[in-house]
């Protein structure tokens, strides 16, 4: 479990972070998603593994509260066009908020960084 203190004025708190692979390289395929069951915010992974969360508009962040965190990864088709077979580059546990093992508490008054280090 991770705890994070996030700060900014207003209802939405700007928020971002980075995702790295088990060998320390940036993970760049997909989105990081924060959800509390009613709301969600997501951030597209960039070429350096960083992301900024969007709720209603680009970069607005998310509201305070407890969130489960998971990844929505782009999957590669290792089959054919007629018979697609999709393979994820990460352990499938990270693609479900109930199995990812990632969560955080977002409260006003702190820093906006949540780093995910993917494990094998």
Domain ranges, ordered by start, for the chain: 16-117
Confidence check: pLDDT of 69 > 90: yes
What CATH code is assigned to 16-117?
Answer: 2.60.40
Q: What does the pLDDT look like over 28-55, one tens digit per residue? A: 989 999 999 888 899 999 999 999 998 8
Burial of 67 by CB count in 10 Å (0-12 exposed, 13-18 middle, 19+ buried)?
A: buried
pLDDT band at 9 (very low <50, low <70, confident <90, very high): very low
pTM over 0.95: no
CA 62 to chain CA mean position, Å: 12
């Amino acid at each position: 479990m991770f705890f994070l203190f996030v700060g900014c004025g207003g209802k939405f708190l700007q928020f971002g972070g980075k995702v790295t692979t088990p060998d320390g390289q940036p993970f760049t395929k997909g989105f990081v998603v924060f959800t509390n069951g009613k709301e969600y915010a997501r951030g597209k992974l960039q070429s350096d593994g960083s992301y900024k969360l969007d709720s209603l508009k680009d970069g607005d962040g998310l509201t305070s509260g407890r969130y489960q965190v998971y990844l929505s990864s782009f999957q590669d088709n290792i089959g054919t066009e007629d018979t697609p077979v999709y393979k994820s580059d990460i352990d499938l546990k990270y693609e479900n908020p109930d199995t990812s093992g990632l969560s955080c508490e977002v409260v006003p008054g702190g820093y906006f960084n949540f780093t995910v280090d993917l494990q094998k």
